[in-house]
Amino acid sequence: MRLFGLNISRAKGTDEKAFSPVGQGRGGWYRIFEPFAGAWQQNVEVRYDSVLSNHADFACRTLIASDISKLRIKLVQKDENGIWSEVTNPAYSPVLRRPNHFQNRIQFMEGWILSKLQRGNALILKQRDGRGVVKALYVLDWTLVTPLVSDDGSVFYELKTDNLAGLPASVTVPAREVIHDRFNCFFHPLVGLSPIFAGGLAATHGLAIQNDSTLFFQNGAQPSGILTAPGAISDETAKRLKEHWESNYSGKNSGKVAVLGDGLKYEAMRAKAVDSQLIEQLKWSAEVVCSTYHVPPYKIGVGQMPTYNNVQALNIEYYSQCLQVLIEAAELCLDEGLGMGENIGTEFDVDNLLRMDTTALINAEKEAVGAGIKAPNEARRRLDLKPVPGGNSPYLQEQNFSLEALAKRDALDDPWASRSGGSPEKDVSEELDSVDEKHIPNYAFASLTKMLTVDAETVH
């Protein structure tokens, strides 16, 4: 079969038995989420679609996906000094800027991360041109993918029909034609596991609380209860009273005035929200979901915001415990998937994610420039300011000396002795005579004269 300009076929003499699909069940890709062994038989089932609608689970997934997708993907190259700098390359830059015909960069990365978080796996199909260069990338639906392993250990993927990704029919492709980003590979190295595996029960618990509260308030916030009579009543009378009560004083008719006679009495049977710790239970379920995604609860509005006012420290914590592994895994997958070498690769621009407040940012850049670490124009670029003439070199004050120069001075028998054996004034004169005035502006030559003269006075 010819796909994207390449012939995709099996080796001659192979058949279906040459491939063994990764086993289903706990290690496979289609599964029933069980919070414990035997839960499904006890009707304790974690429904995947229901879990996705839980507010905490939804907030964690969308927060992570949006924070990563908004980071610009840079193409960087290492120079002879080992410094990575941003570059452009006709073989890689176009596909990083526009991955495919229906998604921009943000939409593509959002689909990538959401697939990984929801299914534990993100499979990206490559489309090559006639030169074999990757010109488009497509995030596939993991439910339409089956990992296969051949007899010699080679990895293949069976892809079902996906017209949006350009797959008119089912096809089996080698691993080199896809990018497979996976994590939490507990049961098989080719199949990742979603955080829903651990947080699904907590999400279901939270949904059950919300559904119960919804039904309660739909009933006019009137708790269910029982009708009691002072004496014995027949089954026929009990049935008639029950039907009369449900038809006249429940649902849309809740809240109406009921007139009870013959000693009948209504007693509520529902536990109070305070007694059942409704709010605490709902908060606990949300916090458990956050823990499975490694998201600080305050990021999705659960719990209190930390009291200390340090935005950068909070963002660094969120980055290191939640986003960093996902970002670096995506970078590595892109490097290998696009066939980049050791000296060129991709890098997510995390500056916006870890952005400090304005005062802290300016102070940090000021310190870097003052210490000679950065050139003024480098600091201005960090602040989105245009470069200025003369700002491309780092600066230090003239009284600073290198450690090497100080070591040479201290190695002398008498560091403060005259270099020529004469007077300090003679040393100054010799220094000035050695200066070519033609190549130094007048103001600079005057400054140098003053500096050497002061040095002579100091020696005196």
* Residues 440 and 298 placed together within one structural domain of the fold: no
Question: Residue 75 falls within a domain, yes or no?
Answer: yes
Question: Based on the domain organization, do 335 and 431 belong to the same domain?
Answer: no
Lowest mean pLDDT among 56-60, 181-185, 239-243, 414-418: 414-418
The confidence band for 417, taking pLDDT boundaries of 50, 70 and 90, is low
pTM to 2 decimals?
0.70
pLDDT digits (tens, 9 = 90+) for 76-113: 999 888 888 999 999 999 999 999 999 999 999 999 99
Higher pLDDT, 381 or 31: 381
One domain for residues 370 and 430: no
Residue 351 lies in a domain: yes
Instruction: Please identify which residue in the block is written with the tokens 């000021």.
Output: 366
Whether residue 131 is found in the same domain as residue 56 = yes
58, 201: one domain: yes
Count the domains in the chain: 3
- Same domain for 434 and 371, yes or no, is no
In a domain, 338, yes or no: yes
Q: What's the rounded Cα separation, in Å, for the pair 65 and 138?
A: 17
pLDDT value, residue 256: 58
Q: Based on the fold, state whether residues 388 and 442 are members of the same structural domain.
A: no
pLDDT at 205 over 90: no
Q: Between these two residues, 383 and 264, which has the higher pLDDT value?
A: 383
Q: Assign 457 a pLDDT band (cuts: 50, 70, 90).
A: very low
In-domain check, residue 337? yes
Same domain, 318 and 389: no
User: What pLDDT does 460 receive?
Assistant: 42
Statement to judge: residues 65 and 212 lie in one domain: yes
Within 8 A by CB and 6+ apart from 36, the residues are 44
Give residue-wise pLDDT tens across range 288-303. Answer: 999 999 999 999 988 7
Residue with more model confidence, 260 or 444: 260
Q: Which domain holds residue 171?
A: 1-10+22-217+274-355
Q: 445 with 320, same domain?
A: no
pLDDT of amino acid 235: 78
**423 and 331 assigned to the same domain:** no
Q: Do 57 and 143 sit in the same domain of this protein?
A: yes
- Range from 45-54, 59-68, 237-246, 262-271 carrying the lowest mean pLDDT: 262-271
Taking only the tens place, the pLDDT of each residue in 121-159 is 999 999 999 888 999 999 999 999 999 999 888 999 999
What is the pLDDT confidence band of residue 20, given thresholds at 50, 70 and 90? low
pLDDT > 50? residue 25: no
What angle is formed at CA 211 by the lines to CA 209 and CA 213, rounded to 5 degrees? Answer: 70
**349, 339 in Cβ contact below 8 A?**
no
Tokens of 443: 């103001």
Q: Is residue 252 part of a domain?
A: no
Asked whether residue 235 is domain-assigned, the answer is: no
pLDDT value at position 268? 61
Q: Which of 99-104's residues contact partners 24+ apart within 8 Å by CB, and which partners?
A: 99/136, 99/137, 99/138, 100/127, 100/136, 100/137, 100/138, 101/136, 102/164, 103/139
Q: Does 231 map to a domain?
A: no
In this structure, is residue 297 part of a structural domain?
yes
Q: Which of 396, 416, 450 is the last residue of a domain?
A: 396
